[in-house]
Structure 1
Protein backbone atom coordinates (compact mmCIF):
# COMPACT_ATOMS: atom_id res chain seq x y z
CA UNK A 1 0.00 0.00 0.00
CA UNK A 2 1.01 3.59 -0.68
CA UNK A 3 -0.50 6.71 0.83
CA UNK A 4 -1.20 10.20 -0.50
CA UNK A 5 -2.24 13.19 1.59
CA UNK A 6 -4.88 15.42 0.01
CA UNK A 7 -4.96 19.18 0.43
CA UNK A 8 -7.41 19.01 3.34
CA UNK A 9 -5.20 16.55 5.24
CA UNK A 10 -7.13 13.36 4.44
CA UNK A 11 -5.17 10.32 3.30
CA UNK A 12 -5.93 8.22 0.22
CA UNK A 13 -4.38 4.74 0.16
CA UNK A 14 -3.64 2.97 -3.09
CA UNK A 15 -1.96 -0.07 -4.58
CA UNK A 16 0.62 0.20 -7.34
CA UNK A 17 2.03 -2.57 -9.49
CA UNK A 18 3.79 -2.89 -12.84
CA UNK A 19 5.40 -0.58 -15.37
CA UNK A 20 4.11 1.07 -18.53
CA UNK A 21 1.03 3.12 -19.43
CA UNK A 22 -1.07 3.97 -16.38
CA UNK A 23 -4.35 2.17 -15.72
CA UNK A 24 -6.41 3.52 -12.80
CA UNK A 25 -8.89 1.04 -11.25
CA UNK A 26 -11.87 2.17 -9.15
CA UNK A 27 -13.66 -0.44 -7.01
CA UNK A 28 -17.33 -0.82 -6.13
CA UNK A 29 -19.50 -0.32 -3.05
CA UNK A 30 -18.39 -2.00 0.16
CA UNK A 31 -15.12 -3.22 -1.36
CA UNK A 32 -11.56 -1.93 -1.61
CA UNK A 33 -8.64 -2.02 -4.03
CA UNK A 34 -7.88 -5.58 -2.86
CA UNK A 35 -10.67 -6.84 -5.13
CA UNK A 36 -8.42 -6.05 -8.11
CA UNK A 37 -5.37 -8.01 -6.91
CA UNK A 38 -5.74 -10.96 -9.35
CA UNK A 39 -6.43 -8.59 -12.25
CA UNK A 40 -3.45 -6.41 -11.35
CA UNK A 41 -1.18 -9.44 -11.45
CA UNK A 42 -2.45 -10.31 -14.93
CA UNK A 43 -1.93 -6.80 -16.30
CA UNK A 44 1.24 -5.64 -14.53
CA UNK A 45 3.50 -7.05 -17.25
CA UNK A 46 2.11 -4.44 -19.66
CA UNK A 47 0.79 -1.57 -17.51
CA UNK A 48 1.42 0.45 -14.39
CA UNK A 49 -1.69 -0.23 -12.30
CA UNK A 50 -2.91 2.28 -9.71
CA UNK A 51 -5.85 1.11 -7.59
CA UNK A 52 -7.01 3.50 -4.85
CA UNK A 53 -9.29 2.77 -1.93
CA UNK A 54 -12.23 5.16 -2.27
CA UNK A 55 -12.62 7.53 0.72
CA UNK A 56 -13.82 5.68 3.80
CA UNK A 57 -13.02 2.30 2.22
CA UNK A 58 -10.03 0.04 2.82
CA UNK A 59 -7.15 2.06 4.26
CA UNK A 60 -8.33 5.48 2.98
CA UNK A 61 -9.57 7.97 5.52
CA UNK A 62 -13.25 8.99 5.48
CA UNK A 63 -14.35 11.53 2.89
CA UNK A 64 -15.96 14.91 3.30
CA UNK A 65 -18.85 13.59 1.19
CA UNK A 66 -19.76 10.52 -0.81
CA UNK A 67 -21.75 11.81 -3.78
CA UNK A 68 -20.32 11.28 -7.25
CA UNK A 69 -18.94 14.82 -7.72
CA UNK A 70 -17.07 14.67 -4.39
CA UNK A 71 -15.69 11.18 -5.01
CA UNK A 72 -14.57 12.22 -8.49
CA UNK A 73 -12.95 15.40 -7.12
CA UNK A 74 -11.01 13.36 -4.55
CA UNK A 75 -9.77 10.99 -7.24
CA UNK A 76 -8.79 13.85 -9.53
CA UNK A 77 -6.86 15.54 -6.71
CA UNK A 78 -5.11 12.27 -5.82
CA UNK A 79 -4.04 11.74 -9.44
CA UNK A 80 -2.70 15.29 -9.63
CA UNK A 81 -0.70 14.97 -6.42
CA UNK A 82 1.00 11.72 -7.49
CA UNK A 83 1.78 13.25 -10.89
CA UNK A 84 -0.47 11.32 -13.28
CA UNK A 85 -1.20 13.38 -16.39
CA UNK A 86 -2.46 10.73 -18.83
CA UNK A 87 -4.15 7.45 -17.99
CA UNK A 88 -6.60 4.74 -18.87
CA UNK A 89 -9.51 4.48 -16.43
CA UNK A 90 -11.32 1.32 -15.31
CA UNK A 91 -14.39 1.49 -13.09
CA UNK A 92 -16.45 -1.32 -11.62
CA UNK A 93 -20.03 -0.88 -10.36
CA UNK A 94 -20.07 2.25 -8.13
CA UNK A 95 -16.49 2.84 -9.29
CA UNK A 96 -17.82 2.86 -12.85
CA UNK A 97 -20.25 5.64 -11.94
CA UNK A 98 -17.36 7.59 -10.40
CA UNK A 99 -15.41 6.98 -13.63
CA UNK A 100 -18.29 8.40 -15.68
CA UNK A 101 -18.28 11.47 -13.42
CA UNK A 102 -14.52 11.79 -13.94
CA UNK A 103 -14.91 11.95 -17.72
CA UNK A 104 -15.72 15.65 -17.49
CA UNK A 105 -12.99 16.29 -14.89
CA UNK A 106 -10.10 14.66 -16.74
CA UNK A 107 -10.86 15.78 -20.29
CA UNK A 108 -8.00 14.98 -22.66
CA UNK A 109 -5.98 13.40 -19.85
CA UNK A 110 -8.19 10.31 -20.10
CA UNK A 111 -7.22 8.17 -23.09
CA UNK A 112 -9.65 5.24 -22.82
CA UNK A 113 -12.37 4.05 -20.47
CA UNK A 114 -13.35 0.54 -19.29
CA UNK A 115 -16.67 0.09 -17.49
CA UNK A 116 -17.43 -3.20 -15.74
CA UNK A 117 -20.92 -4.00 -14.43
CA UNK A 118 -21.83 -0.32 -14.40
CA UNK A 119 -25.21 1.42 -14.52
CA UNK A 120 -26.10 5.04 -15.27
CA UNK A 121 -28.96 4.71 -12.75
CA UNK A 122 -28.74 2.06 -10.02
CA UNK A 123 -32.37 2.06 -8.84
CA UNK A 124 -35.61 1.65 -10.75
CA UNK A 125 -37.59 4.74 -11.72
CA UNK A 126 -40.79 5.38 -13.67
CA UNK A 127 -38.87 5.44 -16.95
CA UNK A 128 -36.13 3.02 -15.93
CA UNK A 129 -36.63 -0.63 -15.01
CA UNK A 130 -33.02 -1.79 -15.43
CA UNK A 131 -32.14 -1.31 -11.78
CA UNK A 132 -32.74 -2.48 -8.24
CA UNK A 133 -35.96 -1.56 -6.41
CA UNK A 134 -35.31 1.42 -4.14
CA UNK A 135 -36.53 -0.67 -1.22
CA UNK A 136 -33.62 -3.06 -1.76
CA UNK A 137 -31.13 -0.31 -0.98
CA UNK A 138 -33.02 0.58 2.19
CA UNK A 139 -32.95 -3.05 3.30
CA UNK A 140 -29.21 -3.25 2.63
CA UNK A 141 -28.67 -0.05 4.60
CA UNK A 142 -30.59 -1.42 7.59
CA UNK A 143 -28.67 -4.69 7.38
CA UNK A 144 -25.36 -2.83 7.33
CA UNK A 145 -26.35 -0.68 10.33
CA UNK A 146 -27.39 -3.78 12.28
CA UNK A 147 -24.51 -6.12 11.32
CA UNK A 148 -22.04 -4.65 8.84
CA UNK A 149 -19.98 -7.82 8.41
CA UNK A 150 -22.99 -10.01 7.64
CA UNK A 151 -24.36 -7.41 5.21
CA UNK A 152 -21.03 -7.20 3.34
CA UNK A 153 -20.68 -10.99 3.22
CA UNK A 154 -24.20 -11.43 1.84
CA UNK A 155 -23.66 -8.69 -0.74
CA UNK A 156 -20.36 -10.25 -1.79
CA UNK A 157 -21.98 -13.66 -2.32
CA UNK A 158 -24.74 -12.10 -4.47
CA UNK A 159 -22.11 -10.92 -6.91
CA UNK A 160 -21.60 -14.50 -8.08
CA UNK A 161 -25.25 -15.46 -8.53
CA UNK A 162 -25.73 -17.59 -11.64
CA UNK A 163 -22.13 -18.78 -11.72
CA UNK A 164 -20.85 -22.30 -11.16
CA UNK A 165 -19.23 -21.59 -7.78
CA UNK A 166 -19.89 -23.52 -4.58
CA UNK A 167 -19.98 -22.00 -1.10
CA UNK A 168 -16.38 -23.00 -0.38
CA UNK A 169 -15.08 -21.24 -3.49
CA UNK A 170 -17.03 -18.07 -2.66
CA UNK A 171 -15.67 -18.21 0.91
CA UNK A 172 -12.09 -18.41 -0.40
CA UNK A 173 -12.70 -15.43 -2.69
CA UNK A 174 -14.22 -13.50 0.20
CA UNK A 175 -11.21 -14.13 2.42
CA UNK A 176 -8.79 -13.06 -0.32
CA UNK A 177 -10.63 -10.07 -1.79
CA UNK A 178 -12.98 -8.70 0.89
CA UNK A 179 -11.85 -9.68 4.37
CA UNK A 180 -8.17 -8.91 3.62
CA UNK A 181 -8.84 -5.14 3.92
CA UNK A 182 -10.67 -3.04 6.52
CA UNK A 183 -14.42 -2.72 5.87
CA UNK A 184 -15.86 0.66 4.87
CA UNK A 185 -16.81 3.07 7.60
CA UNK A 186 -20.49 3.32 8.39
CA UNK A 187 -20.63 6.84 6.93
CA UNK A 188 -18.94 5.72 3.69
CA UNK A 189 -21.14 2.65 3.29
CA UNK A 190 -24.42 4.42 3.97
CA UNK A 191 -23.28 7.46 1.99
CA UNK A 192 -22.45 5.21 -0.95
CA UNK A 193 -25.88 3.60 -0.81
CA UNK A 194 -27.47 7.05 -0.73
CA UNK A 195 -25.41 8.02 -3.79
CA UNK A 196 -26.50 4.88 -5.62
CA UNK A 197 -30.11 5.69 -4.80
CA UNK A 198 -30.00 9.32 -5.92
CA UNK A 199 -27.68 9.29 -8.94
CA UNK A 200 -29.09 9.30 -12.45
CA UNK A 201 -26.55 9.88 -15.24
CA UNK A 202 -28.79 9.05 -18.18
CA UNK A 203 -29.12 12.64 -19.40
CA UNK A 204 -25.40 13.34 -19.45
CA UNK A 205 -23.65 14.23 -22.69
CA UNK A 206 -20.34 12.42 -22.33
CA UNK A 207 -17.21 13.42 -24.26
CA UNK A 208 -16.00 11.12 -27.03
CA UNK A 209 -13.58 8.74 -25.35
CA UNK A 210 -13.06 5.16 -26.60
CA UNK A 211 -14.89 2.93 -24.12
CA UNK A 212 -15.17 -0.79 -23.45
CA UNK A 213 -18.36 -1.77 -21.64
CA UNK A 214 -18.34 -5.26 -20.09
CA UNK A 215 -21.23 -6.91 -18.29
CA UNK A 216 -22.06 -10.39 -17.05
CA UNK A 217 -25.29 -11.82 -18.41
CA UNK A 218 -26.20 -13.22 -14.96
CA UNK A 219 -25.52 -10.01 -13.00
CA UNK A 220 -27.93 -9.95 -10.02
CA UNK A 221 -26.74 -6.54 -8.77
CA UNK A 222 -26.98 -4.46 -11.96
CA UNK A 223 -29.17 -5.88 -14.77
CA UNK A 224 -27.35 -6.44 -18.03
CA UNK A 225 -29.70 -4.01 -19.80
CA UNK A 226 -28.08 -1.17 -17.85
CA UNK A 227 -24.75 -2.01 -19.42
CA UNK A 228 -26.34 -2.25 -22.86
CA UNK A 229 -27.77 1.23 -22.33
CA UNK A 230 -24.32 2.67 -21.63
CA UNK A 231 -22.83 0.94 -24.67
CA UNK A 232 -25.49 2.58 -26.87
CA UNK A 233 -25.25 6.07 -25.38
CA UNK A 234 -21.52 6.54 -24.91
CA UNK A 235 -20.23 8.17 -28.11
CA UNK A 236 -17.53 5.59 -28.89
CA UNK A 237 -18.23 2.33 -27.07
CA UNK A 238 -17.63 -1.36 -27.64
CA UNK A 239 -19.98 -3.85 -25.91
CA UNK A 240 -18.95 -7.24 -24.48
CA UNK A 241 -21.48 -9.48 -22.73
CA UNK A 242 -20.12 -12.50 -20.87
CA UNK A 243 -22.40 -15.53 -20.60
CA UNK A 244 -22.80 -17.37 -17.29
CA UNK A 245 -21.04 -14.54 -15.43
CA UNK A 246 -22.29 -12.39 -12.56
CA UNK A 247 -21.39 -8.97 -11.18
CA UNK A 248 -17.60 -9.39 -10.90
CA UNK A 249 -16.35 -10.89 -14.19
CA UNK A 250 -12.75 -9.81 -13.57
CA UNK A 251 -12.74 -12.05 -10.47
CA UNK A 252 -14.13 -15.28 -11.93
CA UNK A 253 -12.91 -14.72 -15.51
CA UNK A 254 -9.65 -12.93 -14.73
CA UNK A 255 -7.64 -14.24 -17.66
CA UNK A 256 -10.41 -13.61 -20.18
CA UNK A 257 -10.99 -10.08 -18.90
CA UNK A 258 -7.26 -9.30 -18.83
CA UNK A 259 -6.97 -10.39 -22.48
CA UNK A 260 -9.95 -8.20 -23.43
CA UNK A 261 -8.44 -5.23 -21.63
CA UNK A 262 -5.00 -5.66 -23.21
CA UNK A 263 -6.54 -5.89 -26.66
CA UNK A 264 -8.67 -2.78 -26.08
CA UNK A 265 -5.88 -0.70 -24.56
CA UNK A 266 -3.22 -1.73 -27.08
Structure 2
Protein backbone atom coordinates (compact mmCIF):
# COMPACT_ATOMS: atom_id res chain seq x y z
CA UNK A 1 0.00 0.00 0.00
CA UNK A 2 1.29 3.45 -0.94
CA UNK A 3 1.54 5.71 2.10
CA UNK A 4 0.48 9.35 1.74
CA UNK A 5 0.02 12.50 3.70
CA UNK A 6 -3.03 14.37 2.48
CA UNK A 7 -5.95 13.57 0.25
CA UNK A 8 -6.62 13.49 -3.45
CA UNK A 9 -9.99 13.50 -5.26
CA UNK A 10 -10.63 11.23 -8.24
CA UNK A 11 -13.59 12.17 -10.42
CA UNK A 12 -14.71 9.21 -12.54
CA UNK A 13 -16.43 9.76 -15.91
CA UNK A 14 -18.10 6.78 -17.64
CA UNK A 15 -18.42 5.93 -21.32
CA UNK A 16 -21.15 5.95 -23.95
CA UNK A 17 -24.48 4.31 -23.04
CA UNK A 18 -23.25 3.44 -19.53
CA UNK A 19 -23.63 5.20 -16.18
CA UNK A 20 -21.55 5.91 -13.09
CA UNK A 21 -22.32 2.49 -11.57
CA UNK A 22 -19.73 0.96 -13.91
CA UNK A 23 -16.98 2.19 -11.57
CA UNK A 24 -18.43 0.76 -8.36
CA UNK A 25 -16.34 -2.44 -8.09
CA UNK A 26 -13.15 -0.40 -8.49
CA UNK A 27 -14.18 2.43 -6.19
CA UNK A 28 -14.86 0.01 -3.33
CA UNK A 29 -11.19 -1.06 -3.34
CA UNK A 30 -9.57 2.38 -3.27
CA UNK A 31 -7.70 3.53 -0.12
CA UNK A 32 -9.34 6.10 2.13
CA UNK A 33 -6.86 8.86 1.21
CA UNK A 34 -8.53 8.96 -2.22
CA UNK A 35 -11.82 10.83 -2.15
CA UNK A 36 -14.08 9.39 -4.82
CA UNK A 37 -16.70 11.12 -6.94
CA UNK A 38 -18.41 9.66 -9.99
CA UNK A 39 -20.74 11.48 -12.35
CA UNK A 40 -23.38 10.52 -14.87
CA UNK A 41 -23.11 12.12 -18.29
CA UNK A 42 -26.19 14.17 -19.28
CA UNK A 43 -28.93 11.83 -20.45
CA UNK A 44 -27.49 8.84 -18.58
CA UNK A 45 -28.14 7.24 -15.19
CA UNK A 46 -29.71 9.65 -12.72
CA UNK A 47 -29.57 12.47 -15.29
CA UNK A 48 -31.98 10.87 -17.74
CA UNK A 49 -33.98 14.08 -18.17
CA UNK A 50 -30.94 16.06 -19.33
CA UNK A 51 -29.09 15.89 -22.64
CA UNK A 52 -26.12 17.19 -24.62
CA UNK A 53 -25.45 17.71 -28.31
CA UNK A 54 -21.68 18.24 -28.63
CA UNK A 55 -18.27 17.77 -27.04
CA UNK A 56 -18.33 21.46 -26.13
CA UNK A 57 -21.48 20.93 -24.05
CA UNK A 58 -20.01 17.83 -22.41
CA UNK A 59 -16.86 19.77 -21.55
CA UNK A 60 -18.82 22.64 -20.01
CA UNK A 61 -20.86 20.14 -18.01
CA UNK A 62 -17.70 18.44 -16.73
CA UNK A 63 -16.20 21.82 -15.87
CA UNK A 64 -19.21 22.46 -13.63
CA UNK A 65 -18.67 19.07 -11.97
CA UNK A 66 -15.02 19.93 -11.35
CA UNK A 67 -16.02 23.27 -9.84
CA UNK A 68 -18.35 21.39 -7.49
CA UNK A 69 -15.94 18.69 -6.35
CA UNK A 70 -12.62 20.57 -6.31
CA UNK A 71 -11.33 21.05 -2.76
CA UNK A 72 -8.84 23.67 -1.61
CA UNK A 73 -5.24 22.42 -1.53
CA UNK A 74 -6.33 18.97 -2.70
CA UNK A 75 -5.45 17.67 -6.17
CA UNK A 76 -8.28 16.67 -8.51
CA UNK A 77 -7.65 13.82 -10.93
CA UNK A 78 -10.07 13.11 -13.76
CA UNK A 79 -10.47 9.43 -14.69
CA UNK A 80 -12.27 9.19 -18.01
CA UNK A 81 -13.24 6.03 -19.87
CA UNK A 82 -13.88 5.89 -23.63
CA UNK A 83 -16.31 8.69 -24.60
CA UNK A 84 -16.02 10.06 -21.05
CA UNK A 85 -12.30 10.72 -21.57
CA UNK A 86 -12.90 13.17 -24.44
CA UNK A 87 -14.31 16.04 -22.33
CA UNK A 88 -11.56 15.27 -19.79
CA UNK A 89 -8.94 15.70 -22.51
CA UNK A 90 -10.63 18.87 -23.74
CA UNK A 91 -10.59 20.34 -20.23
CA UNK A 92 -6.86 19.64 -20.01
CA UNK A 93 -6.31 21.20 -23.44
CA UNK A 94 -8.15 24.24 -22.04
CA UNK A 95 -5.78 24.05 -19.03
CA UNK A 96 -8.68 24.11 -16.56
CA UNK A 97 -7.16 25.20 -13.26
CA UNK A 98 -9.39 22.86 -11.22
CA UNK A 99 -7.84 19.78 -12.85
CA UNK A 100 -4.41 18.61 -11.67
CA UNK A 101 -4.00 15.35 -13.61
CA UNK A 102 -5.80 13.00 -15.99
CA UNK A 103 -6.10 9.24 -16.35
CA UNK A 104 -7.39 8.19 -19.78
CA UNK A 105 -8.90 4.70 -19.99
CA UNK A 106 -9.43 2.92 -23.32
CA UNK A 107 -9.98 6.12 -25.25
CA UNK A 108 -8.69 7.62 -28.47
CA UNK A 109 -8.17 11.25 -29.45
CA UNK A 110 -9.67 10.23 -32.80
CA UNK A 111 -11.89 7.13 -32.61
CA UNK A 112 -12.56 6.79 -36.36
CA UNK A 113 -9.97 5.71 -38.91
CA UNK A 114 -8.78 8.32 -41.40
CA UNK A 115 -6.29 8.28 -44.28
CA UNK A 116 -3.46 9.20 -41.91
CA UNK A 117 -4.84 7.44 -38.82
CA UNK A 118 -5.07 3.66 -38.53
CA UNK A 119 -5.59 3.50 -34.77
CA UNK A 120 -9.33 4.00 -35.03
CA UNK A 121 -12.21 1.89 -36.34
CA UNK A 122 -14.69 2.36 -39.15
CA UNK A 123 -17.63 4.64 -38.28
CA UNK A 124 -19.92 1.75 -39.19
CA UNK A 125 -18.86 -0.04 -36.00
CA UNK A 126 -20.50 2.70 -33.90
CA UNK A 127 -23.57 2.83 -36.15
CA UNK A 128 -24.13 -0.90 -35.73
CA UNK A 129 -23.73 -0.72 -31.97
CA UNK A 130 -26.17 2.20 -31.82
CA UNK A 131 -28.75 0.27 -33.85
CA UNK A 132 -28.35 -2.72 -31.55
CA UNK A 133 -28.84 -0.51 -28.46
CA UNK A 134 -32.09 0.87 -29.85
CA UNK A 135 -33.44 -2.58 -30.69
CA UNK A 136 -32.39 -4.35 -27.48
CA UNK A 137 -30.67 -2.08 -24.96
CA UNK A 138 -30.54 -4.58 -22.09
CA UNK A 139 -29.26 -7.45 -24.23
CA UNK A 140 -26.67 -5.27 -25.96
CA UNK A 141 -25.26 -3.95 -22.68
CA UNK A 142 -25.12 -7.46 -21.22
CA UNK A 143 -23.21 -8.74 -24.27
CA UNK A 144 -20.89 -5.73 -24.28
CA UNK A 145 -19.97 -6.16 -20.61
CA UNK A 146 -19.48 -9.90 -21.04
CA UNK A 147 -16.97 -9.26 -23.82
CA UNK A 148 -15.00 -6.93 -21.55
CA UNK A 149 -14.28 -9.63 -18.97
CA UNK A 150 -13.83 -12.55 -21.36
CA UNK A 151 -11.08 -14.83 -20.08
CA UNK A 152 -11.04 -13.27 -16.62
CA UNK A 153 -12.35 -15.44 -13.76
CA UNK A 154 -12.55 -12.57 -11.30
CA UNK A 155 -14.15 -10.40 -13.96
CA UNK A 156 -17.03 -12.82 -14.42
CA UNK A 157 -17.80 -12.73 -10.69
CA UNK A 158 -17.79 -8.92 -10.69
CA UNK A 159 -19.92 -8.84 -13.83
CA UNK A 160 -22.90 -10.71 -12.37
CA UNK A 161 -23.64 -7.96 -9.89
CA UNK A 162 -22.40 -5.05 -11.96
CA UNK A 163 -24.55 -5.49 -15.03
CA UNK A 164 -27.68 -5.71 -12.91
CA UNK A 165 -26.77 -2.45 -11.15
CA UNK A 166 -26.16 -0.73 -14.47
CA UNK A 167 -29.43 -1.96 -15.94
CA UNK A 168 -31.36 -0.84 -12.85
CA UNK A 169 -30.73 2.72 -14.01
CA UNK A 170 -32.92 4.28 -16.67
CA UNK A 171 -32.07 3.68 -20.33
CA UNK A 172 -30.07 6.68 -21.64
CA UNK A 173 -32.23 9.06 -23.63
CA UNK A 174 -32.03 8.89 -27.39
CA UNK A 175 -30.85 12.48 -27.86
CA UNK A 176 -27.76 11.86 -25.73
CA UNK A 177 -27.05 8.46 -27.26
CA UNK A 178 -27.15 9.97 -30.75
CA UNK A 179 -25.03 12.94 -29.64
CA UNK A 180 -22.46 10.64 -28.03
CA UNK A 181 -22.29 8.63 -31.24
CA UNK A 182 -21.58 11.77 -33.26
CA UNK A 183 -18.89 12.88 -30.82
CA UNK A 184 -17.18 9.49 -31.16
CA UNK A 185 -17.41 9.67 -34.95
CA UNK A 186 -16.42 13.31 -35.48
CA UNK A 187 -14.05 14.50 -32.74
CA UNK A 188 -10.34 14.65 -33.50
CA UNK A 189 -8.11 15.96 -30.70
CA UNK A 190 -4.80 14.65 -32.03
CA UNK A 191 -3.27 18.02 -32.80
CA UNK A 192 -4.31 19.43 -29.43
CA UNK A 193 -2.66 16.79 -27.24
CA UNK A 194 0.65 18.65 -27.30
CA UNK A 195 -1.07 21.57 -25.54
CA UNK A 196 -1.67 19.48 -22.41
CA UNK A 197 0.87 20.22 -19.69
CA UNK A 198 -0.78 18.31 -16.83
CA UNK A 199 0.36 14.78 -15.86
CA UNK A 200 -1.42 12.15 -17.95
CA UNK A 201 -1.61 8.38 -17.50
CA UNK A 202 -3.10 6.40 -20.40
CA UNK A 203 -4.44 2.83 -20.16
CA UNK A 204 -5.05 0.72 -23.27
CA UNK A 205 -6.18 -2.86 -23.83
CA UNK A 206 -4.36 -5.10 -26.30
CA UNK A 207 -7.61 -6.86 -27.22
CA UNK A 208 -9.71 -3.70 -27.48
CA UNK A 209 -11.97 -3.80 -30.52
CA UNK A 210 -12.60 -0.05 -30.47
CA UNK A 211 -9.15 1.42 -29.73
CA UNK A 212 -6.29 -0.24 -31.61
CA UNK A 213 -3.12 -1.00 -29.65
CA UNK A 214 -1.15 0.86 -32.33
CA UNK A 215 -2.22 3.97 -30.43
CA UNK A 216 0.63 3.25 -27.98
CA UNK A 217 3.20 4.18 -30.62
CA UNK A 218 1.24 7.19 -31.82
CA UNK A 219 0.93 8.58 -28.30
CA UNK A 220 4.70 8.47 -27.89
CA UNK A 221 4.83 10.94 -30.78
CA UNK A 222 1.73 13.03 -30.04
CA UNK A 223 2.14 13.11 -26.27
CA UNK A 224 5.65 11.97 -25.28
CA UNK A 225 5.22 13.21 -21.71
CA UNK A 226 2.31 10.83 -21.03
CA UNK A 227 2.64 7.57 -19.14
CA UNK A 228 1.14 4.84 -21.37
CA UNK A 229 0.37 1.31 -20.19
CA UNK A 230 -0.88 -1.51 -22.45
CA UNK A 231 -2.71 -4.41 -20.79
CA UNK A 232 -2.08 -7.07 -23.42
CA UNK A 233 -5.08 -9.28 -22.61
CA UNK A 234 -7.58 -6.53 -21.75
CA UNK A 235 -10.48 -5.37 -23.89
CA UNK A 236 -12.25 -2.02 -23.81
CA UNK A 237 -12.76 -1.99 -20.04
CA UNK A 238 -9.42 -2.87 -18.44
CA UNK A 239 -10.62 -1.56 -15.07
CA UNK A 240 -13.14 -4.44 -15.01
CA UNK A 241 -11.14 -7.32 -16.46
CA UNK A 242 -7.78 -6.37 -14.93
CA UNK A 243 -8.96 -4.51 -11.86
CA UNK A 244 -5.96 -5.24 -9.63
CA UNK A 245 -3.41 -4.00 -12.18
CA UNK A 246 -5.55 -0.96 -12.89
CA UNK A 247 -6.02 -0.27 -9.21
CA UNK A 248 -2.28 -0.23 -8.59
CA UNK A 249 -1.68 2.05 -11.56
CA UNK A 250 -4.33 4.49 -10.37
CA UNK A 251 -3.04 4.49 -6.79
CA UNK A 252 0.53 5.07 -7.97
CA UNK A 253 -0.57 7.89 -10.28
CA UNK A 254 -2.66 9.50 -7.53
CA UNK A 255 0.25 9.26 -5.10
CA UNK A 256 2.64 10.90 -7.57
CA UNK A 257 0.12 13.65 -8.32
CA UNK A 258 -0.30 14.30 -4.59
CA UNK A 259 3.46 14.59 -4.10
CA UNK A 260 3.79 17.00 -7.04
CA UNK A 261 1.01 19.13 -5.58
CA UNK A 262 2.75 19.29 -2.22
CA UNK A 263 6.06 20.29 -3.83
CA UNK A 264 4.35 23.14 -5.66
TM-score, structure 2 normalization: 0.83
For the pair 1:29 / 2:16, whether they are aligned, the reply is yes
For the pair 1:49 / 2:3, whether they are aligned, the reply is no
- Structure with a larger share of its residues in helix: 2
SS in 2 for 1:246: coil
Question: In the alignment, what sits opposite 2:186?
Answer: 198
- Structure with a larger share of its residues in strand: 1
Looking at structure 2, the residues matched to 172 and 32 of structure 1 have their Cα atoms a distance apart, in angstroms, of 16
Runs of 4+ in structure 1 displaced over 6 angstroms? none
State whether residues 112 and 121 of structure 2, in contact with CA within 8 Å, keep that contact through their aligned partners in structure 1.
yes
Question: Structure 1 residue 125: deviation in Å?
Answer: 1.4
Q: Alignment RMSD, CA only?
A: 2.5
Give runs of aligned pairs for residues 85-96 of structure 1, distance below 5 A. Answer: 86-96=75-85
Looking at structure 1, the residues matched to 59 and 217 of structure 2 have their Cα atoms a distance apart, in angstroms, of 24
Return the match for 1:262 from 236, 243, 251: 251
For the pair 1:184 / 2:179, whether they are aligned, the reply is no
For the pair 1:137 / 2:161, whether they are aligned, the reply is no
Looking at structure 1, the residues matched to 110 and 91 of structure 2 have their Cα atoms a distance apart, in angstroms, of 16
Per-residue CA deviations over 1:143-170 (Å, capped at 9, x if unaligned) read 2233332333333334345x34599658
Question: Structure 1 residue 130: deviation in Å?
Answer: 1.3
Per-residue CA deviations over 1:6-54 (Å, capped at 9, x if unaligned) read xxxxxxxxxxxxx931111111111111011111112242211111001
Looking at structure 2, the residues matched to 99 and 136 of structure 1 have their Cα atoms a distance apart, in angstroms, of 23
State whether residues 55 and 86 of structure 2, in contact with CA within 8 Å, keep that contact through their aligned partners in structure 1.
yes
Return the match for 1:78 from 65, 70, 76: 65
State whether residues 120 and 226 of structure 1, in contact with CA within 8 Å, keep that contact through their aligned partners in structure 2.
no
SS in 1 for 2:45: coil
Aligned length: 247
State whether residues 214 and 227 of structure 1, in contact with CA within 8 Å, keep that contact through their aligned partners in structure 2.
no
Looking at structure 1, the residues matched to 220 and 211 of structure 2 have their Cα atoms a distance apart, in angstroms, of 14
Which is worse superposed, 24-33 or 197-206? 197-206
Looking at structure 2, the residues matched to 165 and 187 of structure 1 have their Cα atoms a distance apart, in angstroms, of 36
Give runs of aligned pairs for residues 221-232 of structure 1, distance below 5 A. Answer: 221-232=210-221
User: What stretches of structure 2 of length at least 5 have no aligned partner?
Assistant: 1-5, 256-264
For the pair 1:150 / 2:136, whether they are aligned, the reply is no
Question: Structure 1 residue 60: deviation in Å?
Answer: 1.2
State whether residues 117 and 247 of structure 1, in contact with CA within 8 Å, keep that contact through their aligned partners in structure 2.
yes
Question: Structure 1 residue 78: deviation in Å?
Answer: 2.6
SS in 2 for 1:240: strand
Which is worse superposed, 238-247 or 141-150? 141-150
TM-score, structure 1 normalization: 0.83
